[in-house]
Structure 1
Amino acid sequence: MTGSGGSGAKSAVEWLVSVAPNPEACRWDWERNPLGVALLPAGRRWDVLILPGGLGYPTLDVLTRCVDRPGPVLADFGDERMGFFVPAGTVSRWLGTGVRGAGRGTWIVVPYPGRAAGGVRWLVAPDGSGTLTDPAVLELAMHEAAAGLARDERQGE
């Protein structure tokens, strides 16, 4: 599910850096950064809902069965957390135990699309079109994933 190089990665870069205070400087630094990451502000075009990896992976599985293409999804080093890109403003309205959010006033580490970047990586890379995950669909996918995890846990007793 990770992105590949080429024009898709280029349009994804353009879409991502459009939120930076100085997009040209951000792109220039990002393309030359040996770590392949940039620090970008959330809350302008997108927020990020951050789930624990144990819930995030099953949620992504459910989500990919429900929609043709979810919005971008990040995973951190060690798969401890996953970040789902949702419309800006979602974090201020989100109520969910164990789910953190990055919205207006926060910054996130974002890897360059289509390039391996150490700790943080794309599970679903941005496509450059602005596709985001619908928070209502994400919530339903989280509920189904949590129910599946609970069922698996009961069967393992």
Structure 2
Amino acid sequence: MARYPARERLAHWFSQDGHPRRPALTPERADAAEQWISASHPRPERLAAEWQRPPRNTALVPAGCGWDAVALPCTLAAAASAELSFEQRADLEGTPLLCDLDSQLVYIPVAPRSADRWGDPAVTVLSHDDWLVMPHPRHPPTGHRAMWISLPDGSGRLADVRVLRLAVAQARARQRAPRPLVRAGYGVHCPGPVPPQRAAGCAEPGLR
């Protein structure tokens, strides 16, 4: 039987408002992450040289060999992570997760070719001929807003595409579901953010 960490030890990749969080860093985890990234690059010496170029401390690493990468909007990735069970979150511990704060995309490395038939317009898959910006595990980059959400632990584990697809599908279904009307005082309002135009299906204020 698999042994899972205590709930309080599980990493929280996103804050309650959906913003990605930086992981806790230990020397052992940083060493493991650096070794995993170096093994993913066909020319480790080039990787090391790019990482040493100040002030960015980032390098381009090719996808399509040891892994592909699934790119999700940050909001969708945060919503999908909320759909994961405790056991699924525990199984994802130690798998690499990256975020580009400029593009607001989360990149999740998965097994090569495993996400080829995803078929969701909100999801982009990076594979052969694609490159991913990876910050140095020890030194957050300056001038580039790429960041690690979860550092690889050196085990080589990657996220399970089947689990990701189910979580994303559940999150998108929840986002599309109509929100219930809430009566308050003398009016009817729609909970949550409402665009400037009156939301479809909401009664005009003042109706009872």
Pairing partner for 2:140 from 94, 99, 116: 116
Over 3 Å counting, the alpha-carbon distance change for 1:47 and 1:33 in structure 2 is farther
Q: Give the TM-score, by structure 1 length.
A: 0.86
More helix by share: 1
Number of paired residues?
156
Deviates more, 1:138-147 or 1:37-46: 138-147
| Greater length-normalized contact order (CA 8 Å, ≥ 6 residues apart) | 1
Alignment of 1:1-157 (within 5 A): 1=11, 2-63=23-84, 65=86, 66-70=88-92, 71-78=95-102, 80-117=104-141, 118-151=144-177, 154-155=179-180, 156=191
Q: Which residue of structure 1 aligns with residue 197 of structure 2?
A: none
Structure 1 unaligned segments of length 5 or more: list them.
none
Q: Provide the secondary structure at the position in 2 that maps to 1:75.
A: strand
Q: Give the TM-score, by structure 2 length.
A: 0.66
Equivalent pair of 1:52/1:82 in contact (CA under 8 Å): yes
What is the letter of the counterpart of residue 106 of structure 1? Answer: D
Equivalent pair of 1:12/1:129 in contact (CA under 8 Å): no
What root-mean-square deviation, in Å, do the aligned CA atoms of Structure 1 and Structure 2 show?
2.2
Moved segments of 4+, more than 6 Å: none
What is the letter of the counterpart of residue 152 of structure 2? Answer: P
Deviates more, 1:116-125 or 1:58-67: 58-67
Equivalent pair of 1:47/1:88 in contact (CA under 8 Å): yes
Q: Which residue of structure 1 aligns with residue 14 of structure 2?
A: none
